[in-house]
Amino acid sequence: MSRRGGDKTQVRHGSAVRACAITLLSCTFLLMAPVSRAGELRLSTLEWPPYTGEALPGAGAAAVVLQEAAKHAGDTFSTAFYPWQRAVRIGLESPGYVGYFPEYMSRNLDNQCLFSKPIGIGPLGFAQRRDRPLLWNTLDDLVSVPIGTVSGYVNTADFDARVAAGRLSTDTAIDDVSNLRKVIAKRIVAAVVDHNVMAYLLKTDSSLITEGDVLEFNSRLLENKTLHVCFRKTDEGEAARARLDAALSALDVSTIFEKALVF
């Protein structure tokens, strides 16, 4: 998928903080010994605007959907921000968490994830220079094309399988911004990126904000990816997923998600 961030942990308690105001004792318990309980949805995440971000309204479009779903279920929702691979590890292994988000649906993750119903959609494709368009119909056309990817991200099943087999030439970066800069500098022909993420970065990142006339999104999508919560494969994770899925089924997720997107 796509994500990033510094190493400093930042916690956003959401509606759990409001619940703390009921008693000093409950507030102290939440801050000193966070434990995931029935009725509490505690997840790890990353800085991946416009889907997640501590400075974004509601902490990002994906977080807004989860906040609304938790409210509908009568639960509390809280999340903490970490660098991506650490967020995955903490969500799946650390006490007090039942999973992480947002994650693309992937068969490669079925052994470690219980996927929720979709909490949003991310159009995945290629960033390219306007004066250097990428012409392709199938992935077979890209065998000799240098393509940027981000370490630890899920792309598509076919794309990732070809990369693993050495059938595609890829250049790995630490984040989407680095890849977009490589495209601008002509170090690579294209970079795999989420369209909404690219649109956000072109309007907000200081190193890219003047490059809108240089970069564009390729007209052919790799895949319209759904975004999910990845729950732990435990009884607790299964119960949390069931509660969330029931709430999501009762909501107009697409409308909530689209309204919360910020560019």
Q: 14, 67 in Cβ contact below 8 A?
A: yes
Prior bond of 50 cis (ω within 30°): yes
For the domain made up of 10-120+227-260, the CATH class stated in words is alpha beta
Tokens of 14: 């959401």
Question: How large is the average pLDDT for residues 232-257?
Answer: 97
Q: In the predicted model, is pLDDT for residue 239 greater than 60? A: yes
Query: Is 14 or 69 the better-scoring residue by pLDDT?
Result: 69
| Two domains, one topology: 10-120+227-260 and 122-224 | yes
Q: In the predicted model, is pLDDT for residue 237 greater than 60? A: yes
Tokens of 55: 């400075």
Q: 226, 116 in Cβ contact below 8 A?
A: no
Q: What b-and-e string marks burial along 191-216, b requiring 16 or more CB atoms within 10 Å of the CB?
A: bbbbbbbbbbbbeeeeebeebeebbb
Whole-number mean pLDDT of the chain? 87
Question: Residue 171: which residues within 8 A CB-CB, separation 6 or more?
Answer: 146, 147, 148, 149, 182, 187, 188
What pLDDT is attached to residue 190? 98
Q: What percent of the chain has pLDDT over 70?
A: 86
User: What digits encode the pLDDT tens for the residues 163-222?
Assistant: 999 999 999 999 999 999 999 999 999 999 999 999 999 999 999 999 999 999 999 999
Strand pairing class (99-104; 223-231): antiparallel
What pLDDT is attached to residue 73? 95
Phi, psi torsion values for 209, nearest 5 degrees: -60, -25
Q: In the predicted model, is pLDDT for residue 28 greater than 90? A: no
Question: How large is the average pLDDT for residues 103-130?
Answer: 93
Query: Could you tell me the residue ranges of all domains in the chain?
Result: 10-120+227-260, 122-224
What pLDDT is attached to residue 37? 52
Task: Give residue 38's pLDDT band: very low, low, confident or very high (50, 70, 90).
Answer: low
Task: Give residue 263's pLDDT band: very low, low, confident or very high (50, 70, 90).
Answer: confident
Strand, coil or helix: 173:
strand
pTM for the whole thing? 0.79
Task: Give residue 262's pLDDT band: very low, low, confident or very high (50, 70, 90).
Answer: confident
In CATH, which superfamily holds the domain spanning 122-224? Periplasmic binding protein-like II (3.40.190.10)
What pLDDT is attached to residue 29? 32
Question: How large is the average pLDDT for residues 145-157?
Answer: 92
Task: Give residue 154's pLDDT band: very low, low, confident or very high (50, 70, 90).
Answer: confident
